[in-house]
Amino acid sequence: MSAEKTNQSWGGRFSEPVDAFVARFTASVDFDKRLYRHDIMGSIAHATMLEQAGVLSAAERDAIIEGLTQIQGEIEAGQFDWRVDLEDVHMNIEARLTDRIGITGKKLHTGRSRNDQVATDIRLWLRDEIDTILAEITRLQQGLLAQAEQHAEVIMPGFTHLQTAQPVSFGHHLLAWFEMLSRDHERLVDCRTRVNRMPLGSAALAGTTYPIQREITCRLLGFEAIGGNSLDGVSDRDFAIEFCAAASLAMMHLSRFSEELVLWTSAQFNFIELPDRFCTGSSIMPQKKNPDVPELVRGKSGRVFGALMGLLTLMKGQPLAYNKDNQEDKEPLFDAADTLRDSLRAFADMVPAIKPRIEVMREAARRGFSTATDLADYLVRKGLPFRDCHEIVGHAVKYGVQSGKDLAEMSLDELRQFSDQITDDVFAVLTLEGSVNARDHIGGTAPNQVRAAVARGKALLAAR
Percent helix, strand and coil across the chain, each rounded to 5?
70, 5, 25
**Cβ atoms within 10 Å, residue 360:** 15
Whether 161 is catalytic is: yes
59's CB contacts (< 8 A; 6+ apart) are none
- Per DSSP, 326 falls in state G
Return d(Cα 385, Cα 333) in angstroms, integer.
56
Q: Which of 28, 109, 113, 161 is labelled catalytic?
A: 161
Number of continuous H segments (helices) and E segments (strands) in the chain: 19, 6
Torsion angle of C-alpha atoms 394, 396, 400, 403, degrees rounded to 10: 130
Beta bridge partners of 158: 166
If DSSP codes are grouped into helix, strand and coil, which group holds residue 317? coil
For residue 89, which of 56, 118, 120 has the smallest C-alpha distance?
118
The DSSP secondary-structure symbol of 12 reads G
Question: What is the C-alpha separation between 174 and 179, in angstroms, rounded?
Answer: 9
Residues forming a β-bridge with 167: 157
Cα 61 from Cα 333, distance rounded (Å): 33
Instruction: Give the C-alpha separation, 311 to 332, whole Å.
Output: 7
The count of C-alpha atoms lying within 13 angstroms of the C-alpha of 185, restricted to the half-sphere facing its C-beta, is 21
**Residues 6+ positions from 111 with CB-CB distance below 8 Å:** 46, 50, 55, 201, 203, 208, 210, 212
Q: Please answer whether residues 104 and 50 qualify as being in contact, where contact means their C-beta atoms are separated by less than 8 angstroms.
A: no
Residue 51 and residue 44 in contact, taking contact as beta carbons nearer than 8 Å: no
Whether 9 is a known active-site residue: answer no
Secondary structure of residue 198 in the 3-state scheme: strand
Q: Out of 266, 282, 395, 403, which one is annotated catalytic?
A: 282
**What amino acid is encoded at 68 in this protein?**
L
Render 39-76 in DSSP notation, one character per residue. Answer: HHHHHHHHHHHHHHTTSS-HHHHHHHHHHHHHHHHHHH
Q: How many residues does the chain have?
A: 464
Residue positions annotated with a catalytic role: 161, 282
